[in-house]
Amino acid sequence: AASSTVWSAFATEGARQTRPVIAGSQLEFEFGGDCTAGAVVQKNSWSAVFFAKERATRYVVTANHCVARIGERVFVRNELESRHGHVPPIGTVYWRSDDVDLALIKIDPIVHVSYTCGSSSHGAPHCLPVTTWTPNALPRVLTASLRMRSIYAQPVIGYDNPGLNEAFATSGSTTGVQVNWRNLSVRAWPPGFR
C-alpha cells in the first residue's frame, strides 16, 4: 500500500507541473505564493469575435490568498528558473475579489508565426507573416483513475451556475477540500466570464 501511495503522489506532481495549464496544475506566483489552478474560463467579449488572440486567451480561477497584487506574474511551479528570466510566465493576475477567496489569472496564448511566400507581380519573391494563437490553458480537470492507477486530464463538457440551495466543493493544495461554497454573490465574480 505504501508503494502505491508514493507512486500516486509522484504521478500527480508530474502531471501538475506541465503545460498547458488545466484545473489542478500547480502555479507559482512572482512574490512567493503557490496555489492550485482552478477552473479554466473564457471572457465573453465582442473583441473575441474579431480578434483571434482574444479568442485564444484563457483565464484560470485560483485562491486570492495566494496572490500579492494584480499584475503579478504567474509560472508553472516546476519552472523555478522562470523567475530568473529563463522561461516566460504563463500569465499575470488579472482580478482579485474583495469579498471571497477568488482571483483570476490571465493566461497568454502560445504564438505561432509562419510565412506565406509567393512572387510579386514583378516576379520578385515576397513573404508575408501569418500569426496564429493557441490556448495555453484547457478546460480539463486533473483527476485520478483508480482502476488504471494513473492520472489524466478529464475534459470539462459543460458549465452552469449552482442552483438555489446547491452546494459545491473546491480542492486546493493549501486549503484542502472546501465544501461550504453556496450561491456566489454577483460581486464575488467579475462580469463577462463563462
pLDDT tens-place string over residues 104-153: 999 999 999 999 998 877 878 888 999 999 999 998 887 766 676 667 77
Bridge partners (DSSP) listed for residue 143: 152
Task: Say if residues 25 and 34 touch (Cβ distance below 8 Å).
Answer: no
> What's this model's pTM, rounded to 2 decimal places?
0.76
pLDDT above 90 (res 19): no
Three-state secondary-structure class, residue 129: strand
Annotation: CATH topology of 2-157:
Thrombin, subunit H (2.40.10)
Phi and psi at 183, nearest 5°, equal: 35, 75
Residue extents of the structural domains in the chain: 2-157
